[in-house]
Amino acid sequence: MLELQRLEPEQYRHSAKLPLVVVLDDVRSEMNVGNIFRCSDAFAVERIMLCGITATPPKPEIHKTALGAEDTVSWQYFASVGQAIEELSRDGYTICSIEQVHNSVPLQEFEPRNDRKYAVIFGNEVKGVAQSAVDASDCCLELPQFGTKHSLNVANTAAIVIWHFLTRLKLQNP
């Protein structure tokens, strides 16, 4: 760790975080969940909210792709994405569903503000973000697609979206 100038897990827990919460709405693949934990660690996401059927640590398949990030990134479980949204709304987060819907904003056109906290909701690999979550969101963001497929893997999408927020927002002390 020292030669790579990486933080130890305890140092990481107390380090500056991105004012961003990742919400996983019924993500069925434990490997996708683990991948999103690893990405969230790499880019200093504040925390992850796991909802519905989304698996929670400890699970071998999560650990296989998270490589320990499930132990460094703060996370919570909610029986439904609606419960997570209620808490986030109460705490003043701007909620963005990552979904292709009418009037969604292309990610590259979305400029998050440094005076706000954000939550991004990623949905099920087949069904996407639940309509109730889309309806409760402050906005919907989408990744433009130029090929024959209409979406990317949820973990790939999460990496791109988190990177977008990281490059535009300042890290904040917890």
Write out the chain's pLDDT in tens, 174 residues: 445 677 888 888 888 999 999 999 999 999 999 999 999 999 999 999 999 999 999 999 999 999 999 999 999 999 999 999 999 999 999 999 999 999 999 999 999 999 999 999 999 999 999 999 999 999 999 999 999 988 999 999 999 999 999 999 988 776
Question: Residues near 108 by Cβ (< 8 Å), separated by ≥ 6?
Answer: 144, 164
Taking alpha carbons only, the member of 29, 71, 56 closest to residue 155 is 29
Written as one letter, the residue type at 38 is R
pTM, two decimals, is: 0.94
Integer Cα distance of 57 and 41 in angstroms? 15
CATH number among 3.40.1280.10, 3.30.390.30, 3.30.1330.10, 3.20.10.10, domain 9-168: 3.40.1280.10
Across-strand partners of 117? 93
